[in-house]
Amino acid sequence: MTEAAADIADLAGTARRDLPEVLADLRRLVEHETPSSDKELLDAGLDDIEEWLAERLGPPASRVRHGGGAHGDVLELGYPGTGAGTVLLLCHYDTVWPRGTIREWPVTVDGDRFSGPGCFDMKAGIVQGVWALRALRELGLPAPAVRILLNGDEEIGSPASRAHIERAGAEADLTLVLEPSRAGKVKTGRKGMGLFDVTATGIESHAGLDPEAGASAVHALAALVPQITALAAPERGTTVNVGVFAGGTARNVVAGRASCEVDVRVQDPAEQDRVDAGLAALAPPDGRVKVEVTGEWNRPPMNPGPATGRVFALAAGVARDLGGELGQISVGGASDGNLVAALGKPVLDGLGAAGSGPHSRDEHVLISATPHQIALVAGVLTRFARS
């Protein structure tokens, strides 16, 4: 066994030994709820995470907490390295679960499954990243300078944190996103996401006494939905979903207003212009109805380039020394990694927990895979510091 392979084996052994404490830390973070829409809980949760980080890693060399306004604050912590380079560990601490979920669905350990709201997406990733740094310190292995960025608005599109993420990503040599893995595979590609609202404004009238005086916004928008969904091009990686449709005031009123919420995912950046043009060209069959499209492209596509390929090769080498093969995958979901990848910087995403069920009551972390994931992150960090 080479010295480099022995170092990885030592990291794996350390992570296995530390597993009970890792799970205790994960329980602590999960039991402190942090819904994206609850500023009070987000602030308290971030306070607790910062206190826990100080307990596990000691005081950081640098600290900045950016106010998030109505959204969760952004915490940036810097830790000096003993090797080359600077790596950004990108994590979000908000979850999709509302206040009180932990009472209905408490943390449960059942065999190999650790379950609880937000455990997989993505509080386990935060915990694993911290224990990876601890393992490097304990074993005296080279580590790059590390910046940890924690944001509390990822699940709602990162409106308050985007600028901070892009700045931190531009300053780093490599970004590791500790979002959940996909069946143990890292995510080197993600689709870009557009969030749009289409609103139709018609003319109200009595549906029985004077129907022809009205111009139904509901009827008009219903006719436009097929035009909207026809913008999908699965062969080019573009999907379109109308997820919410609402309108009208009463059964016997010709509707004066209707709206729908549209989710668009694209892999090819050029598709954004085509979809924009298609939405701008929407024309209702009744010219008396006015249509307005609002919204924006929330995140650009994340497509791997040569730099990401080189870093993936490094990570794959670590995985082989851990006794397995590391797969890579492109997924439809977006993350904050999209924002950094759009800057042309290398990004490895999905280095967090192994498990399943994000955003569902089946959300869980596989306990047996957790030491491997910790050792994988630690191994990538130390080999990057040496490269």
Burial class (CB in 10 A: 0-12, 13-18, 19+), 10: middle
From the options 3.40.630.10, 3.10.20.600, 3.40.50.150, 3.40.190.10, give the CATH code of 3-190+302-386. 3.40.630.10
Instruction: Note the Cα 381 to chain centre separation in Å.
Output: 21
Q: Which tens digit of pLDDT belongs to each residue from 273-324?
A: 999 999 999 999 999 999 999 999 999 999 999 999 999 999 999 999 999 9
Q: What is the pLDDT of residue 346?
A: 96
What percentage of the chain reaches a pLDDT higher than 70? Answer: 100
Q: Please tell me the distance from the alpha carbon of residue 103 to that of residue 101, in angstroms, as a whole number.
A: 5
**What mean pLDDT do residues 86-109 have?**
98
For the chain, report the end-to-end CA distance as a whole number of angstroms. 20
Count of CA atoms in the C-beta half-sphere (13 A) of 227: 17
Average pLDDT over the chain, rounded to an integer:
97
> Pseudo-torsion of CA 231, 234, 238, 243, nearest 10°?
70
pTM of the model: 0.92
Question: What's the maximum distance between 2 C-alpha atoms anywhere in the chain?
Answer: 87
Residue (of 168, 91, 65, 67) closest to 377 by Cα position: 91
Alpha-helical segments (H) within the chain? 3-31, 39-57, 101-104, 124-139, 162-171, 217-229, 270-280, 306-321, 337-341, 370-386
Domain 192-299 has CATH 2.60.40.10: no
Q: Per-residue pLDDT averaged across 198-208, rounded?
A: 98
Q: What local confidence, expressed as pLDDT, does residue 1 receive?
A: 72
Q: Give 39's contacts (C-beta < 8 A, 6+ positions apart).
A: 68, 70, 71, 72
Share of residues in the chain with pLDDT > 90 (%): 99
Residue 199 φ then ψ, to 5°: -120, 130
Question: What pLDDT score does 201 carry?
Answer: 98
Q: pLDDT digit string (tens) for 33-89?
A: 999 999 999 999 999 999 999 999 999 999 999 999 999 999 999 999 999 999 999
Six-digit token pair at 194? Answer: 């557009």
The model's confidence at residue 213, banded by pLDDT at 50, 70 and 90, is very high
Nearest to 315 by CA among 328, 306, 331, 301: 328
φ, ψ of residue 318 to 5 degrees: the values are: -60, -45
Q: How confident is the model at residue 239, as a pLDDT?
A: 98
pLDDT of residue 210: 97
Question: Active-site positions?
Answer: 94, 154
Domain ranges of the chain: 3-190+302-386, 192-299
At 252, the pLDDT band (50, 70, 90 cuts) reads very high
**What pLDDT was estimated at residue 3?**
82
Q: For residue 79, give Cα distances in angstroms to 88, 262, 284, 371.
A: 11, 41, 57, 23
